[in-house]
Amino acid sequence: MRIFVDADACPVKEEVIRVATRHGLAVVLIGNRWMRGIDSPLVTQEVVPDGLNQADDRIVERFEAGDLVVTADVPLAVRCLEKGGRGIDHRGKIFDPDSIGMASAMRDLMTHLRDSGQIEGGGPRAYAKLDRSRFLDGLERLVQAMK
């Protein structure tokens, strides 16, 4: 099992590395730029060219059954689940065969509501301490279940 991280906007890279170290798991950070300050023998970084879905495509290309992805990108999570893996977002929401359909439907609904002007802008709420705690708990439980 490896942990792939959709790294560019991921606020929990340190937490991923902490859990991976505890379990002796390899971490692959994939993004459009090099991440400074990452110093662990378990971590490799891949920088992909700028462009729509470049990081997502690289993650899916390297992803195998039994791997885990950390991403807030529901379509990327869908693609990884189709290859036999699991996922979790940075707030601790687990993506598995039982939850991905609802996550995908909610994403599509919110996109439609925004595009049709029925709701305005906004975006996700600010990232809070409780989100970090939920992520750590969720990642730990997910890794243990996958092992």
Q: List, for residues 21-53, the tens digit of each pLDDT value.
A: 999 999 999 999 999 989 899 999 999 999 889
Helix H or strand E segment including 13: helix 13-23
**Domains in the chain: how many in total?**
1
**pLDDT level of residue 85 (50, 70, 90 thresholds):** very high
Express each pLDDT in 98-130 by its tens digit: 877 777 777 666 666 767 777 776 666 788 999
pTM of the model: 0.87
pLDDT higher than 70, residue 10? yes
Domain CATH number, residue 104: 3.40.50
Range of the domain at 23: 2-146
Q: List, in sequence order, the alpha helices (H) in 63-98.
A: 74-82
Q: How far apart are CA 125 and CA 140, in angstroms?
A: 24
Sheet holding 43-47, edge to edge: 43-47, 26-31, 2-6, 68-70, 86-88, 94-95
Q: How far apart are CA 61 and CA 127, in angstroms?
A: 30
> Which phi and psi angles does 99 have, rounded to 5°?
-110, -15
